[in-house]
Amino acid sequence: MRSRQRMFAAVMRLLLKCLRLGRRRRFKLVWQVEQLWQYGHLCLHSLLYNSFTNGDVVLDSLFEPVYWLVDHVTRWFGVVFVALVIGLTSSIVAIVYICLLPLILQTYTPAWICWHLAYGHWNLIMIVFHYYMAITTSPGHPPQAKDDLTGVSICRKCIAPKPARTHHCSICNRCVLKMDHHCPWLNNCVGHYNHRYFFSFCLFMTMGCIYCSISSWEMFRDAYAAIERMKLLDKERLQVAANQTYYQTPPPTFSFHQRAFHKSVVYLWVLCSSVALALGALTLWHAALITRGETSIERHINKKERQRLQKKGKVFRNPYSYGSWDNWKVFLGVDVPRHWLTRVLLPSPHLPHGTGLSWDLPPCVTEQRTPLLAI
């Protein structure tokens, strides 16, 4: 009897030891996991901590993969966009020559014929010239050697000198002089040396689209009504074919040439009107920027600087603005009155004022510019 009690007591002591050991091990395992979690959290916090971090920085970091994708897709699809511009423009020109020009020559008076031929071909030449120059002209890049430049900063991305008004293009992966933006429709950056070509192309393309929309309005109405009649006749033809008897004849049909003509006129008017609205808004936006002596990037920078100085009771003055009229003269390269004809109304490959590295007072500006800050 005693031996059984001793054996039972020994078994119970062994079971209690196992339970204590398992509890200790479990507590030790939990403690180790907790210590590892705190250590990892401390390491992550020490690596990512920044006193200047805010919601905007976190949001930019989250969208960084999207920015990278847009940069690379825009770079490769630039050729497709350029081909699309050339293809659509060529289709409109072909429709004008094949469909509209014969009607103009047959129905208009000699004075209106001369007007349409002169204005239409002048506008087309200006569009082709400025688009070709915009896509083939380099916007300008700063030199890599800092010895040639004084008082410039260093770009953090390409580790190269960065003169005033110069910004880094993440798509081209280079700094661009007086950068406005990267245009996928040009497959090129818009900068110091091709900014005028870009704006002139937008302006003359808008004028050409408005001209085509207004000139073809009556033809568009007739063509749209003819297409509606085509649809109605097609329905009647199907009904006659389903219930055809010996005493019924099918309705008359439109020829392939007539169908193609009417659909081409509708396509021309819809495309030109859409482009005129969209591109016209963009042209007005850039015209306002040119009037203020700013680029698209500088507009955002100057807005923040204006708000910052306003809180201090100061007024921000754009150091690159010479007044509305002089800003246009500097942008278009008009030094003498005859340049309005030879450099604005006619194709001209003249260079802009300055080199884009320094911004001295252009010779066409008559008044001194205002200082950067005024109290």
Catalytic residue list: 183
CA–CA distances in Å: residue 131 to residues 82, 266, 308:
10, 26, 39
- Contact between 289 and 303 under an 8 Å Cβ cutoff? The reply is no
d(Cα 155, Cα 162) in Å, to the nearest integer? Answer: 6
How many CA atoms lie less than 13 Å away from 68 in the CB half-sphere? Answer: 6
d(Cα 38, Cα 45) in Å, to the nearest integer? Answer: 10
- Contact between 194 and 134 under an 8 Å Cβ cutoff? The reply is yes
- Contact between 180 and 167 under an 8 Å Cβ cutoff? The reply is no
Neighbours of 306 (CB within 10 A): 14
d(Cα 368, Cα 375) in Å, to the nearest integer? Answer: 18
Neighbours of 279 (CB within 10 A): 19
d(Cα 219, Cα 129) in Å, to the nearest integer? Answer: 29
Q: Compute the CA torsion angle 59, 72, 81, 198 (nearest 10 deg).
A: 70
d(Cα 203, Cα 127) in Å, to the nearest integer? Answer: 9
- Contact between 74 and 188 under an 8 Å Cβ cutoff? The reply is no
Is residue 198 helix, strand or coil? helix
Neighbours of 61 (CB within 10 A): 11
The b-or-e profile of 145-158 (16+ CB within 10 A means b, else e) is: eeeeeeebeebeeb
Is residue 104 helix, strand or coil? helix
d(Cα 199, Cα 212) in Å, to the nearest integer? Answer: 20
Give me 344's structure tokens: 């604005």
